[in-house]
Structure 1
């Protein structure tokens, strides 16, 4: 479903797989909520990223948000745990560092 070459990843929410696509618009919107994205990457590198920040980034990067609130995405991150959230997070943070989207 996702294309890692394009920086895409997948996230399972309530048993359904959803595409995370870090487009320019999605990252700009995420930056409005989270502050500078490079600072977000730095916090992640220092192990200081909060679950709420991960969920917000994921929510903004959802290719189709229909019927998904930030709270539902946050609960999915919490339910699957940090280890399972690390792969899609790594993909999105990589795209932020590349400056693409």
Structure 2
């Protein structure tokens, strides 16, 4: 389990299945996400247009995780996001996208 998210570092907390995960859009995390889902500006535009896929969101979250311990797999993360529902993960997505645009 990750420590509490630190907003001053651009982190966001995502509670999935009783576990609080910390997401931090670090340079390394965003480079890895960009290699998988394409340019970050395109990702932000797709999100703004309501065209961000569940796969893109799961990929972004996976790469931004600060701790992948506890046996969490990427598939389990995607299933947990789906189970939680898009309405509940959207604020976390918004935080990450704001960090991409604004920087820290």
Q: Same fold (TM over 0.5)?
A: yes
Structure 1 counterpart SS, 2:68: coil
Q: How many Å separate the matches in 1 of 2:91 and 2:79?
A: 17
Which moved further from structure 2: 17-26 or 2-11?
A: 2-11
Match of 2:41 among 31, 38, 43: 38
**Partner of residue 58, structure 1:** 61
Q: How many Å separate the matches in 2 of 1:38 and 1:29?
A: 14
Cα deviation, residue 87, structure 1: 1.1
Match of 1:17 among 12, 15, 20: 20
Structure 2 counterpart SS, 1:31: helix
- RMSD, aligned CA: 1.1
TM value normalised by structure 2 = 0.89
Match of 1:48 among 28, 45, 51: 51
Matched length: 100
- Which aligned runs of 4 or more in structure 1 are off by greater than 4 angstroms? none
Alignment gaps of 5+ in structure 2: none
CA contact (8 A) 2:16 2:84 kept: no
